[in-house]
Amino acid sequence: MNTPRSHTGRIRSFVLRTGRTTSAQQRALETLSSALLIPFQPMQLDWAQAFGLSSISSDKNAPRIVEIGFGMGETTASIAAARPKDQFLALDVHSPGVGALLKRIDEMGLTNVRVMRHDAVEVLEQMIAPNTLDGVHIFFPDPWHKKRHHKRRLIQAPFMKLLAERLKVGGYLHLATDWQEYAEQMLTIGNAEHRLSNTSPNKTYVPRPAYRPVTKFENRGLNLGHGVWDLVYQKLR
């Protein structure tokens, strides 16, 4: 997931890039979008309606997790399958990845995942009410490794503030990156947000939580000696 500034100067959660959509992904987009893809609207999301829950369903109080930048959806689907009582709203903009995740949801029979193809910042600002999320996942956002591009990174103080506002008290934020310098920036920004508490005993990084699977790409990097850094914060107030 990439994070440039738009022409208005604000941070966005992506940069449009070209990529080939396979026939299977396109078929998933055409046949599954009506059931699983939520359109962006500048109004608060009705979670019960989005997940097809009746007013008397106990699931209407299920934990609500937002994932920002899910790539091809492998991790999203794996976590959702392991946590069937949680509701996952997965945000990304790239057609191949959206199609791939829709296909995974269908093949795995998942009922607890919905997808939005829109800028995550605008979704959080306009569709997610304050103090309503139980968790946020941001795994391996674009590190924009050149120094002159650091301003394009998603994890910056204003965005951290927005995430803290959307989390419930007791809710968590899980970040992961394989770029050490970006991990250090995430740590500095996260530790400075007064409403969030770093769950590491020494206020640094945590071992990979068991629910986050190791992807094939990540495993290749680990085998080559590359590092991966996980940070988990909890909202205090």
User: Active-site residues: which are they?
Assistant: 142
DSSP 93-137: --HHHHHHHHHHHHHHT-SSEEEEES-HHHHHHHHS-TT-EEEEE
- Token pair belonging to 177: 């990156």
The alpha carbon torsion through 93, 144, 167, 201 (nearest 10 deg) reads 140
Strands ordered across the beta sheet of 167-177: 113-117, 87-92, 64-68, 133-139, 167-177, 229-235, 196-198
State the Cα angle at 213 between 145 and 40, rounded to 5°. 70
Whole-angstrom distance, CA of residue 89 vs CA of residue 119: 13
Number of Cβ within 10 Å of residue 175's Cβ equals: 26
Are 24 and 31 contacting, i.e. CB atoms less than 8 angstroms apart? no
- Token pair belonging to 155: 């994890």
